[in-house]
Amino acid sequence: MPKQPLSMHLPVETGTYTRVSTVIGIVDDDASVLRALRRLLEGAGFAVKAFESAEEFLSLEHPETIQCLVLDVHMPGLSGFELQDRLTAAQIAIPIIFITANDDAPTRGRAQQGGVAYLPKPFDRKSLLAAIRKAIDGA
């Protein structure tokens, strides 16, 4: 009997949400980071939508379908902070986990003001999954 895709498995109950019905958005201009995060999060049972730019994310017809956004701070074009500002202006409330390879005090301060979590790259799997849990559960 052939294996069924992950989405066909029974939902995994975790706290107040079901993983397979939870959609995590990832926005990062680094294709290798997108691939790695997609594999990690799908392996943890989440549905994932990946975007190579903030502009690509903004073209999403229904951004409110994303329950949590893993968002790179420094990208060409619109930055992660600019995307956050646009979402706020449009009254779209998505919990954001900021990630960056350029960890400095101003970036850290801004991210901590408007994000659920701030993770300098490289970060470990447990830290990201804990931050996603916090974002989804609203803790």
The arithmetic mean of pLDDT across residues 72-86, rounded, is 97
Q: How far apart are CA 48 and CA 33, in angstroms?
A: 13
In a domain, 15, yes or no: no
pTM above 0.75, yes or no: yes
Domains of the chain: total: 1
Q: Which of 3-7, 56-60, 61-65 has the lowest average pLDDT?
A: 3-7
Binned at pLDDT 50, 70 and 90, residue 15 comes out as: very low
Number of residues assigned to the chain: 139
DSSP strands (E only) in 16-123: 17-18, 23-27, 47-51, 68-72, 96-100, 117-120
Asked if the structure places residue 111 within a domain, the reply is yes
On whether residue 114 sits in a domain, the answer given is yes
Structural domain includes residue 55: yes
Position 125 in a domain = yes
Q: Is residue 77 part of a domain?
A: yes
Is residue 4 situated within a structural domain? no
Residue 131 covered by a domain? yes
| Residue 138 confidence (pLDDT) | 80
For residue 119, give its domain range. 21-137
User: Region 48-58: what's the mean pLDDT?
Assistant: 97
What is the rounded distance in angstroms from the CA atom of residue 107 to the CA atom of residue 27?
Answer: 17
pLDDT at 3: 33
In this structure, what CATH number is given to the domain that contains residue 121? 3.40.50.2300
